[in-house]
Amino acid sequence: MKFNHETGFYKGKVRDVHFIGDDLLVMVASNRISAFDVILPRPIPFKGQVLNQIAARFLAATTDIVPNWVLDVPLPHVTIGRKCTPFAVEMVIRGNLTGHAWRTYQQGLRTLCGVTLPEGLNENDFFPEPIITPTTKAHEGHDEDISREEILSKGIVSEADYSLLENYTRALFARGKEIAAQQGLILVDTKYEFGKVNDMLFLIDEIHTPDSSRYFYAEGYEARQQNKEPQKQLSKEFVREWLIAHDFMGKEGQQVPDMSDDFIIEISDRYIELYEKITGTPFVKELIDEQAVVLTVNESLKKITA
């Protein structure tokens, strides 16, 4: 698949990026799924559409906080936007002690990315206030935890820009939590990516999707915490947990376990469930016709560049 005036192509973990001239890109959300920075062998039906539509909705709902890269969403799984120069860090923000933070805490460590973690917390407890735990942005292999101090001392991001990234991250997370609460969900943690065009800063990539975020159901949260029961959640963490249970964490020498047809369908259903829960609207499955995609995207590009 190639679009008019295409000047380059990049295949990411879960998206195909087509560069249009020097200023634009077309991002096509695929059905690929990754975990532990490894692309799993089998695609997940409708995953790309879910991610793109949720991201489009949240990006549109946060333009008053920070401008973003999106110019048009011509198809459910396609976004056209500005080509930005990305910052080499991802801004991870956590409201609860879960996932990677909990695994770190279980090991007895009380510092994550330079942030001190309080004593006496249980898995999935709220932090006194959300914490920012950035990671490096790796083109290949694993993203790595990094502290604010390291980012500044290594000159990865200037202090002025990093202060902006922190402020935007906290404001975006607060907005995401507000929207989630309206749907009976808790936005637990997420990540944001930012870039620049000349000196102007933009929010890029996707936000508040099940690939970049974790949600708990608000109803029953307190009771489950008191009873030390697992939280009912919507995210792809259950895929990571399944892989861990089958001895895979993306480490050298480990083999990705076979995923059955039933498990693939379960993953797809969970993605669709999150879409319907977070948006409050039914999910409409769209079949992809490559020729129609090319025609529709080219028509959108023509309007954008007119």
What CATH number is associated with residue 277? Answer: 3.30.200.20
The verdict on residue 248 lying in a domain is: no
Residue 124 sits in the same domain as residue 172: yes
pLDDT of res. 196? 97
pLDDT of residue 1: 86
Report the distance separating Cα 276 and Cα 110, nearest Å: 37
Question: Do 170 and 231 fall into the same domain?
Answer: yes
Q: Say if residue 144 is in the same domain as residue 209.
A: yes
Any residues with CB less than 8 A from the CB of 100 and at least 6 apart, and which?
Answer: none
71 lies in the same domain as 98: no
Mean pLDDT to the nearest integer, 56-62: 97
Rounded Cα distance between 285 and 224, Å, is 34
Please provide residue 145's backbone torsions phi and psi, each rounded to the nearest 5 degrees.
-60, 145
Residue 233 pLDDT: 86
* Same domain flag for 96 and 219: yes
Q: What average pLDDT does this structure show over 141-150? A: 86
Same domain, 78 and 150: no
In angstroms, rounded to a whole number, what is the distance separating the alpha carbons of residues 58 and 70?
Answer: 11
Q: Do the domain assignments include residue 160?
A: yes
Is residue 246 domain-resident? no
Q: What percent of the chain has pLDDT over 90?
A: 86
Mean pLDDT of the chain: 94
Model pLDDT, residue 139? 58
Give the pLDDT confidence of 167-214 residue by residue, as tens digits.
Answer: 999 999 999 999 999 999 999 999 999 999 999 999 999 999 988 999
Q: Report, as an integer, the average pLDDT of 246-256.
A: 91
pLDDT for position 140: 55
Predicted pLDDT at 137: 81
- Examine the pLDDT at 141 and tell me if it is beyond 90: no
Tell me the pLDDT band of 260, cut-offs 50, 70 and 90. Answer: very high
CA distance 203 to 236: 23
Q: What is the mean pLDDT of residues 41-64?
A: 96
Question: Residues 58, 195: one domain?
Answer: no
- Residue 37's pLDDT band, with cuts at 50, 70 and 90, is confident
Domain that holds residue 191: 86-238
- Specify the 3-state DSSP secondary structure of 108: coil
Q: What is the mean pLDDT of residues 105-112?
A: 96
Outline where DSSP puts E strands in the chain. Answer: 6-11, 15-20, 24-29, 34-35, 38-39, 70-75, 78-82, 85-86, 89-96, 111-112, 115-116, 126-132, 135-136, 185-197, 200-204, 213-217, 233-234
Mean pLDDT, range 50-70, rounded to an integer: 97
Kindly give, in sequence order, each residue whose CB lies less than 8 Å from that of residue 241, ignoring residues fewer than 6 positions away: none
Based on the fold, state whether residues 265 and 228 are members of the same structural domain.
no
What are the structure tokens assigned to 281, written together? Answer: 């609207």
Residue 202 is predicted with a pLDDT of 98
Please state, in angstroms and rounded to a whole number, the distance separating the CA atoms of residues 135 and 261. Answer: 34
For residues 234 and 272, membership in a common domain is answered with no
CA distance 16 to 160: 32
Q: Answer yes or no: do 160 and 23 share one domain.
A: no
Q: Give me the pLDDT at residue 131, please.
A: 98
- The count of domains in the chain is 2
| pLDDT surpassing 80 at residue 138 | no
